[in-house]
Structures are given as structure tokens and as C-alpha cells.
Structure 1
């Protein structure tokens, strides 16, 4: 059995106190972080070492983006893909060597895509669609049991957002983004673990804007964070939990952590 968590932490150094709280309370074997906003030498290695996460793969850059996978079980860095095609640190892949041996775990931070859902007037939106297309071409050649987790920055289903009609023209829920994400899913036959375990249209959000003074009362959430798996891995999933309580912690991220347990 191996438990894997994903969390867009929105600056790992700033939010190390709530990371420590989360891993102390829930103790995932592996934690995949996105938007760490630091270079590898600035990453809080010592803090994670003390928490028992003695195996780490960090792909960071100065001030922005960045991903890190920290683990209690042995792993080795497996890959770094530049799906953004501009050198940004948005992916790191590892191979598990202990519990879950042989499984590949991909940690990705898909670009947000700016504000205007039109690549002609918003280059960031075009970069997001191109990122997804490169991911799809990569996924077409996967030949090992794999999980891909992280901040996909797309809420694909109607029930993945607080108001489907209101958000159809809002970046993260537009039809063109949903279609691009579907092409990526089809390229490998991924299973969307979240929606297999918490079936639509049951409420399921992982992100709430900082703009809302009271995120709970407002509850304008979106499911932007995902955990997908190869079919042979998805069949072994035993639990999947969303930890909304973390959105209420001191100096929270705007995302909350998700955990999947797999009987490998």
C-alpha cells in the first residue's frame, strides 16, 4: 500500500508550517507539490528530512512555478519534460523503488492560461493549449504503470465548478480547454481517480480564490487538481480524500491537498 498526495502549495517556504501540519496529521508516503516558487538549493530540504521525507526530486526556478516530489519511500528521478517549451520548471517524474515499486509518478503544474480564452489576444492561453497537446503526444507512448498528479488548471466537468454556465467563458472551464484535456486523457486511457471515487455530480472542489473573504460561505470552488492513473494502477485504488480543512489553516494556499491510496 502506498499513499500519494498532491498539493499546489503556492510557495513551499512561506507555507512550510501548514505542510508540516498536513504531513503530521495524514502522513502520506509521497507528497507531490506544485508552485514551490524556489530553486532547488532554496528548497526546505532540512525540514522535510526531519519529517521523514528523505527522498526528494526537486525541479525549481527562481520565484515562480516549480515542482517537487518528496517521499518516505525510495525513489529516483525519472524525467523532466519541458511541455511549456520555454524552460519553465513545471514537471518532474519519479520511479518508486520501495512501496509501489516500478510505478512511475509524474508531478505536473499546467499553466493557468491568463484571463482571456483566446490565443489570438492572449499568448498565455495558447501556451496552455500547446502544453496540453505536448502532454498528449507524450502520453501516447507511455508503456509503464503510471500516475500523473498535480494542478491541471482545468475543471472539466459541469459539477467541477460552482456554476457551469457562469464559467463557460472563464479560463479553466472553457470548452476548448476541456477538449484539450480530453485528448490528453484519451492518449493513454487515463482513469480520473477523483471522479471514479467521488462520482459526478457530487460536489468536489480543490481550489477557492483568495478574493472571497469567506471561502466557505461563498463556496465558489473549482476542481483544478487531479490524480489520474493508468488503468492497471486505477484498479488498485482503495481510497481518495480531499482535505478542504487545509483551506482554513493559517496562511493557506488557495488549493487544498488530495490523497490517493493504492494497493500496489
Structure 2
């Protein structure tokens, strides 16, 4: 039975509850993974989502920062949460569907503004977080798994509006790209979005700073859907819903979708 999964950095689920409800109503994914919910679990606006049929969920949260949640029409059970790099942040939660697929929802640290861990602690935390993700994948050898989320790195040259101009900008520096590649290789993860859309510029984030983000189009592909090789060939219909970035009071991220015939 096919199911459609979406991932979206919502940048405050309580502030943008209406946008989440609109996406669920218009697109009706079976599973929606949210990042940067910025809410304690007990204050998440789940009633509105339950009314739309999303009666299953797992979440980790904290006041005002970070936070991850998996909403689902399909029954699921919690499959753990990790505190990589020992930050004490709500940045990961996992759930297992009845078909045996485990979904990992990640919000990787952004890393601050300066790509030098010697002067920017946040950048060091980002690299350490990715190293722990790599080590977990290497040890666990995940199977029948999907990894999604705001990984805060645009790895390919065509995942950013200007490879040359962003080489020294956090999210596209060579050291970040290498750390992400090591994480991907450790779990043999397949980048489902680029499996489906192998060529061309592709973005999921546009800065709030641009007066007209759509016209400037200085985007980056920071949001990802990966799958283990045993199920990656079942994935198809990948898409990024760019128009959502233009909704009223939007997140600076657009949702990313994929369908799995499993």
C-alpha cells in the first residue's frame, strides 16, 4: 500500500498551525514530519490535526526552540529519540509504521554564521552532531528506514543558487558537505529527492531577508528525504512545494514530499 510522506521545517507550529492544517487538507500526506516546532509537547496544537484525521503522533519539544514531531494518519509506535552531540536539544524523534518502516525525523543544528569551530561554538556543535549521526548509522546499519528533516546543509552545487558565492557560507561549506556525505555513506542512505530529480537547481529554503524571495530565487536545498537501499527503489513522485513559501506569514522552508510503494 503506497504512502506519501512530507517533511517541513515549520518555524513554530503554534504560530503556523493554520498553515499546517492547510497543507494537510490540500495535500493529505499520510505522514508529516515537522521540525522547529518551538513548543513543549504538552502545548502542541494537536486537536486541529486530529480533526483532520492525523490521530497518531510522536514528538519531542522544548519551549521556544528546536522541536520535532511526526503526524500520521497511519498507526505508528514511538521508536526512540537521540540527543546527538549531548546538546540537550529536541532534535530527533523516530516512529515505526505497521509495515515495518522506521521514520527518523531530524533537525540538524544550523551552525551559526561563521564556519569556524574555533570562534563559533555553534558550528562545532553542528559538525559534532553530524559525526554522531554518522557513528549511529555506522553502528546500527539501519534497514527499511527513512530519514527526513531539515539537515541544514545543501550538499550539491545545484542545491544552491551560487556554488561559488556560498562556498564560505554556513550550510554549503566543504567541511559541512563532507560531514553530511559521511553520514549518508555510513547508513548507505539514498537521497530520494535527487534520485527522482537528478538534474537542475532545486531549493527548499529561501531567506526572509530577501524583499522578494521568489524573484531573487536565492534558495538552498536544506530539507531532505533519504531511504535505506532496501526500500529506496520504492520511492517516487518527489516534489518540493515551492508555492507554500508564498503563503501568508510562511515558514522560510517549503515542504518536501515523496511517495513510497510499500
Aligned to 1:191: 190
Structure 2 Cα separation of the partners of residues 108 and 16 of structure 1:
20
Aligned to 1:138: 136
Structure 2 Cα separation of the partners of residues 108 and 197 of structure 1:
21
Per-residue Cα deviation, 1:197-254 (whole angstroms, up to 9, x for no partner): 1113x12100000000101110000000000000111110121111000011011000
Q: How does 1:1-264 map to 2 (within 5 A)?
A: 1-97=2-98, 101-140=99-138, 141-200=140-199, 202-264=200-262
Residue 63 of structure 2 aligns to a residue in which SS?
Answer: coil
Offset of 1:21 from its aligned partner? 1.0
Q: Which runs of 4+ in 1 moved over 3 A?
A: none
Structure 2 Cα separation of the partners of residues 45 and 237 of structure 1:
28
Structure 1 Cα separation of the partners of residues 16 and 249 of structure 2:
7
Count, aligned residues: 260
Q: TM-score, normalised by structure 2?
A: 0.98
Q: TM-score, normalised by structure 1?
A: 0.97
Structure 2 Cα separation of the partners of residues 241 and 92 of structure 1:
23
Q: Is the 8 A contact 2:204 2:221 kept in 1?
A: yes
Instruction: Give 5+ residue unaligned stretches, structure 1.
Output: none
Structure 1 Cα separation of the partners of residues 21 and 237 of structure 2:
22
Structure 2 Cα separation of the partners of residues 240 and 210 of structure 1:
25
Per-residue Cα deviation, 1:19-72 (whole angstroms, up to 9, x for no partner): 111111110000000000000000011111101100010100011000000000
Q: Is the 8 A contact 2:142 2:187 kept in 1?
A: no
Offset of 1:142 from its aligned partner? 2.5
CA RMSD for the aligned pairs? 0.7
Structure 2 Cα separation of the partners of residues 261 and 109 of structure 1:
21
Instruction: Give 5+ residue unaligned stretches, structure 2.
Output: none
